[in-house]
Structure 1
Amino acid sequence: MVASWWSRARLGIFVHWTPASVPGWAPPYVAPDELPAEGRRAPLAWTAYAEWYENALRFPGSPVSAHHRATYGTRPYTAFGGDFNDALDSWDPAAWARGFRAAGARYAVLVTKHHDGFCLWPSEVANPHRTGWHTVRDVVGEFAEAVRAEGMRFGVHYSGGLDWTFDDRPIGTAADTVSAVPRGGYPAYADAQVRELIRRYHPDILWNDIAWPASRADVQRLIAYYRFTVPHGVVNDRLYPYTPMWRALRLPGVGALYDRRERRTVARGEGFVPRKPPYYDFRTPEFARCTGPDPYEITRGIDHSFGYNRNSPPEAFLGRDALEALVRETAAEGGNVLLNVGPRGEDATIPAEQRLRLEWLAELARRDGQSQTMSKDRPKFA
């Protein structure tokens, strides 16, 4: 049974903030069946998820590649890591936390390492492929302290299933995603980093993404360590253990069958709901509603991306009525909403379009009497 504090939370804030937030660009969302032929063959190269920028660069014909050539020339993606670190001088985690709390959030989950492998803490577990590929400032620790100071719970997101510093093959389809889970030294690396996060920060939520690169027994041991260290903690539903069968998805015929099934699911408008792994506390439908008896958390962006996308058109953003309905209806059904913000990489601020939605939620919380820390003024976000 999921922890009672999580069941009562109703609203959490997700934060995707990576070196991809510096270019902060992806093409607007296009329905899969409306993509050009090249996009239909490799839809993840045309994704509206701006945090997948580095992967989209590996497809010469993708919109991201065209944008990058026109804007940055031959500058490598790794250069954005330095820009990201430089911008941290102006970051104010306390202001973020105050704004999240005012919006009615009861917890906040920070992406500590996304698929590009960049760590938001100075990890003692060295990356053997990209030296210094992390923040100098302890972003995870400072964020955790700020969030907890506002009375919220703190969670860590970690991309266990993908790390492009260990396997940089282009990922164009769902089958490519599963077959690209790194092997070799990566399982030990990921296990050591997640244990470091648990040991250092005692996160209330352990939020893994995509899958886990090791066996079911390894997953069980990792969760046991987490539950021993953080007895009140909760685990999401994406710690799906590695199986050698995933390698078969690299075969053209097998991969095509898998992708065809995935395309049918998206075309029916069902969104993305992870398969159930052996161990989990709550489900995480992505840009989708959820059915069934399990505790669940709808996770989605304010627009069609998670990372900051300066190219999102106005119509991509949730309207006020839709946002309020999402939060209220999900709460009435007993679920949570994990609403994402994607800060800018160049100055460590939350974009105006996203700040406005948080302010709407603050007004909703004030009307519903849910916020205990609201001042009479509108919340200020950095």
Structure 2
Amino acid sequence: MESPPVSAPVDTTWFTHDRFGMFVHWGLYALPARHEWVKNREKLTDEQYQVYFDHFDPDRYDPAEWARTARAAGMRYVVLTTKHHDGFCLWDSTLTDYQVTRTPYGRDLLGPFVDACRAEGLKVGFYYSLIDWHHPSFPVDGTHPRRDDAAYIEAAADRDIRVYQEYLHGQVRELLTSYGTIDYLFFDFSYADRDEWWGGKGPDDWDSRALLDLVRELQPGILVNDRTGLPGDFVTPEQYQPAGPMSAGGRPVVWEACQTLNGSWGYDRDNLDDKSADLLVRMLVDGVSKDGNLLLNVGPTGRGDIDPGARAVLADIGRWMDLHERSVRGCGPASYTPPPDCRYTRRGDRLYLHLFSWPLSHVHLPGLAGRVRYAQLLNDASEIVRVRTDPDLPAHNARMGGQPADTLTLELPVRRPDALVPVIELFLTPSA
């Protein structure tokens, strides 16, 4: 990764322990229901986009239900988009009229969200977009909905990013002084080096050094991501799974993969590219095995509901987490090499073998001979028998052989456990 570790990091213990959080992308774009970048993709003017502001009235908004859903899924922190790239604010900002109390809904959305998360024992996170396609001082660039409108670009030629900086910093001050302790802040995003977008913006445009100093002054213990263009407390691979533990300058960094249920962050009614619950559990486990977190997104509807499909898949994940939580929470990578199509996680003297596919009768674990005191399926605590194999026997013999001498072989039931990802809990010897 290009971002080096921060020089004076805050305590990330809760973050690397909890491992699993909910991202919530929600705003005006839930009404067109065609992706959160609909204003950009369809090159909508402010006047065309205004119809969604005029009709924003989420009468079914129930943040307590969101928080219960997150906790039941096994998530332990929730991050909400306070302002996305369209510039619309979910709180009663004193710095703009382009905010929720001016819509038909007419009430602050963030206060009830924060209270609901705290009531469920969840850490509270805010997302804030550095980009703002609505603000009159945000210079037009290659991400802007009016990027191909020559007359608009000419009229906006004298926009001063320093004016926008004051607005940006002022809004962050509002967010971090109005709702008590905030645990997590996700800025999004810098793109000065992105060739596909002309006029890209980075840390100088946001005055990121002063911005981060402000954040630390207001909330000393908050975790901040890496997207201001300066190093943060964690790095944020998006929509892909890293190949291994992430590092910078030869040193490990804290990381979190942010992932969607269907490729869209905001509510996208006609998007049917839904990931299955078993795939999402494998993604979570894969990340933990590489010392990372998973921030899994939902995009509530224009009325404020988490849609039925999302609720169903989160419920499935929750049922798996209910029985297998201790193979994720508080776990990290292990020094042993897992068999093919498996992942290890470890916590103290417990090693967890996650079987992404179910083998026939036996699984061979290199390096673990003599290092395991006991083995059991995690879902029901039923014993898994350890089998001795003779490395001197040829592999074609009816008695198992052909494995390295340090291999532990486990005898599995033929019938796969009824779990999205079966897990074997291995109790290690003190020297393992």
Aligned-pair CA distance for 1:333? 1.7
Q: Does the C-alpha gap of structure 1 residues 105 and 284 become closer, same or farther in structure 2, counting only changes over 3 Å?
A: same
Unpaired runs of at least 5, structure 2: 1-8, 148-152, 191-200, 330-432
Runs of 4+ in 1 over 6 A off after TM superposition: 128-131, 179-182
Other-structure match for 2:301: 344
Other-structure match for 2:184: 205
Higher share in strand: 2
SS in 1 for 2:280: helix
Query: Over alpha carbons, which structure has the higher Rg?
Result: 2
C-alpha contact 1:287 1:299 (8 A) present in aligned 2: yes
Matched to 2:27, the amino acid is T
Aligned-pair CA distance for 1:58? 1.4
Aligned-pair CA distance for 1:225? 2.8
Give the alignment partner of residue 219 of structure 2, picking from 209, 230, 239: 230
Aligned-pair CA distance for 1:165? 3.3
SS in 2 for 1:58: coil
Q: Deviations over 1:308-360 (max 9, x none)?
A: 101112xx111122111011121222111010000001x21111111111111
Q: Does the C-alpha gap of structure 1 residues 182 and 96 become closer, same or farther in structure 2, counting only changes over 3 Å?
A: farther
Aligned length: 290
Q: How does 1:15-30 map to 2 (within 5 A)?
A: 15-25=24-34
Other-structure match for 2:238: 286
Give the alignment partner of residue 187 of structure 1, picking from 155, 160, 165: 165
Matched to 2:175, the amino acid is L
Other-structure match for 1:255: none
Q: Deviations over 1:54-82 (max 9, x none)?
A: 1122179xxxxxxxxxxxxx982112123
Matched to 2:277, the amino acid is R
Matched to 2:53, the amino acid is G
Aligned-pair CA distance for 1:128? 8.5
Q: Does the C-alpha gap of structure 1 residues 340 and 134 become closer, same or farther in structure 2, counting only changes over 3 Å?
A: farther
Q: In structure 2, how many angstroms separate the alpha carbons of the residues matched to 1:286 and 1:111?
A: 16
Query: Does 1:102 find its partner at 2:72?
Result: yes
Matched to 2:21, the amino acid is G
Question: Could you tell me the percent identity over the aligned residues?
Answer: 34
Q: In structure 1, how many angstroms separate the alpha carbons of the residues matched to 2:16 and 2:160?
A: 34
Aligned-pair CA distance for 1:171? 4.0
Q: How does 1:1-382 map to 2 (within 5 A)?
A: 1=9, 2-25=11-34, 50-58=35-43, 76-84=48-56, 86-87=57-58, 89-126=59-96, 132=102, 136-166=106-136, 167=138, 169=140, 171=142, 183-201=161-179, 202-211=181-190, 215=204, 218-240=207-229, 277=230, 279-290=231-242, 291-292=246-247, 293-313=252-272, 316-345=273-302, 347-369=303-325
Q: In structure 2, how many angstroms separate the alpha carbons of the residues matched to 1:95 and 1:129?
A: 23
Q: Deviations over 1:224-251 (max 9, x none)?
A: 23223322210001012xxxxxxxxxxx
Q: In structure 2, how many angstroms separate the alpha carbons of the residues matched to 1:128 and 1:351?
A: 26
C-alpha contact 1:195 1:222 (8 A) present in aligned 2: no
Higher share in helix: 1
Q: Does the C-alpha gap of structure 1 residues 312 and 185 become closer, same or farther in structure 2, counting only changes over 3 Å?
A: same
Q: In structure 2, how many angstroms separate the alpha carbons of the residues matched to 1:187 and 1:217?
A: 6
Q: In structure 2, how many angstroms separate the alpha carbons of the residues matched to 1:92 and 1:203?
A: 20
Q: Does the C-alpha gap of structure 1 residues 10 and 231 become closer, same or farther in structure 2, counting only changes over 3 Å?
A: same
Per chain length, whose mean CA-contact separation is higher, i.e. which structure has more relative contact order (CA < 8 Å, sep 6+)? 1
Unpaired runs of at least 5, structure 1: 26-49, 61-73, 241-276, 373-382
Matched to 1:191, the amino acid is H
Other-structure match for 1:46: none
SS in 2 for 1:356: helix
SS in 2 for 1:90: coil
Other-structure match for 1:252: none
Matched to 2:262, the amino acid is D
C-alpha contact 2:91 2:99 (8 A) present in aligned 1: no
Q: Does the C-alpha gap of structure 1 residues 8 and 303 become closer, same or farther in structure 2, counting only changes over 3 Å?
A: same
Matched to 2:310, the amino acid is Q
C-alpha contact 2:54 2:104 (8 A) present in aligned 1: no
